[in-house]
Structure 1
Amino acid sequence: MKSYRADYVFSINADPIKNGIVTVDESGKIVAVSSQPTHPDVSIEQLSGILCPGFINTHCHLELSHLKNKVPKQTGLVDFIKNVQKFRNIDPAEAQDAALKADAEMYDNGIVAVGDISNSDLTIDIKSKSKLYYHTFIELFSFLPQNAKTVFDNGLELLRQFKPQSVSITPHAPYSVSKELFRLIRDYSDTHTNLLSIHNQECEDENKLYRYKTGKFLDLYEGFGIDISYFKPQARNSLQTVIPLLSNKQKILLVHNTCTNLKDIYFIKRFDRIINWCFCPGANLYIEGHLPKTELFLEQGFNITLGTDSLASNTGLNLLAEMKLLQDQVPSLTLNRLLEWGTINGAKYLGIDDEKGTLEVGKAPGLNLITGLDDFKITADTKVKRIV
Structure 2
Amino acid sequence: MKSFKADYVYPVYADPIKDGIVTIDDHGKIISITNSLTDKPDHELEHHSGVICPGFINTHCHVEFSHLKDKIAQGGGLITFIKDIQKLRNADKSEILAAAEKADNEMYENGIVAVGDTSNSNISVSVKAKSKLYYHTFVEIFGFSPENAEKLFNDALALADEFKPQSSSVTAHAPYSVSKELFRLIKRYSDNGKNLLSIHNQECDDENKFYRYKLGGFIELYDHLGINIDHFRPQARNSLQSIIPLLTNRQKILLVHNTCTNLKDIYFIKRFDRKINWCFCPNANMYIEKRLPKVDLFVNQGLNITLGTDSLASNSKLCILSEMRTLQHKFPSLSLGTLLKWGTINGAEFLGIDETMGTLETGKTPGLNLITGLDGLKITPETKVKKLV
- Equivalence for 1:162: 163
Q: Over residues 117-158 of structure 1, what are the superposed CA-to-partner deviations in whole Å (9 max), with x where a residue is unaligned?
A: 000000111101100000000000100000211110100110
- The one-letter code matched in structure 2 to 1:100 is E
Instruction: Please state if 1:26 is matched with 2:41.
Output: no
Residue type matched to 2:310 in 1?
D
- Residue by residue over 1:39-58, the C-alpha shift from the partner in whole angstroms, topping out at 9 and shown as x without a partner, is 73223111111100000000
Q: What is the DSSP-based 3-state SS (H/G/I as helix, E as strand, rest coil) of the residue aligned with 1:145? A: coil
Aligned to 1:344: 345
Task: Say which SS state the counterpart of residue 52 (structure 1) adopts.
Answer: strand
TM-score by length of 1: 0.99
Residue 57 of structure 2 is matched in structure 1 by: 56
Q: Per the alignment, in what secondary structure is the counterpart of residue 191 of structure 1?
A: coil
Whole-angstrom CA distance in 2 between matches of 1:37 and 1:195 = 42
Counterpart Cα distance in 2 of 1:387 and 1:375: 21
Deviation at 1:38, TM superposition (A): 6.2
1:5 match: 5
- Equivalent residue number for residue 179 of structure 2: 178
Q: How far 1:364 sits from its partner (Å)?
A: 0.2
Structure 2 CA distance, aligned partners of 1:162 and 1:338?
31
8 A Cα contact 1:32 1:38, kept in partner: no
Correspondence for 2:320 = 319
Deviation at residue 299 of structure 1 after TM alignment: 1.2
1:1-388 → structure 2 map (5 Å cutoff): 1-37=1-37, 40-388=41-389
Residues 319-360 of structure 1: per-residue CA shift (max 9 Å, x gap): 001001111111110001100000000000000000000010
- CA 1:17–1:262: 2 relative to 1, 3 Å: same
Amino acid at match of 1:309: D
**Number of matched pairs:** 388
Residue identity in the other structure for 1:133 = Y
What is the SS of the residue equivalent to 2:71?
A: coil
Query: After superposition, what is the alpha-carbon deviation per residue over 1:231-279, rounded to whole angstroms, capped at 9, x for unaligned?
Result: 1100000000001101000000000000000000000111000000000
Asked if the contact 1:368/1:387 (under 8 Å) is kept, the reply is: yes
Q: Output one character per residue of 1:265-304: Cα deviation in whole Å (capped at 9) or x when no partner.
A: 0001110000000000000000000000000001111100
One-letter code aligned to 1:91:
D
Structure 2 letter corresponding to 1:194 = N
Percent identical residues: 66
Alpha carbons 1:135, 1:167 under 8 Å: kept: yes
Give the Cα–Cα distance (whole angstroms) in 1 for the partners of residues 205 and 148 of structure 2.
27
In the TM superposition, residue 230 of structure 1 has moved relative to its aligned partner by: 1.1
Could you tell me which runs of 5 or more consecutive residues in structure 2 were left unpaired when the two chains were aligned. none
Distance, in Å, in 1 between the alignment partners of 2:148 and 2:289 is 30
> What TM-score does the superposition give when structure 2 sets the normalisation length?
0.99
Which one-letter code corresponds to 2:15 in the other structure? Answer: D
Unaligned runs of 5+ in 1: none
* Aligned partner letter, 2:66: S
Query: Which amino acid counterpart does residue 217 of structure 1 have in structure 2?
Result: F
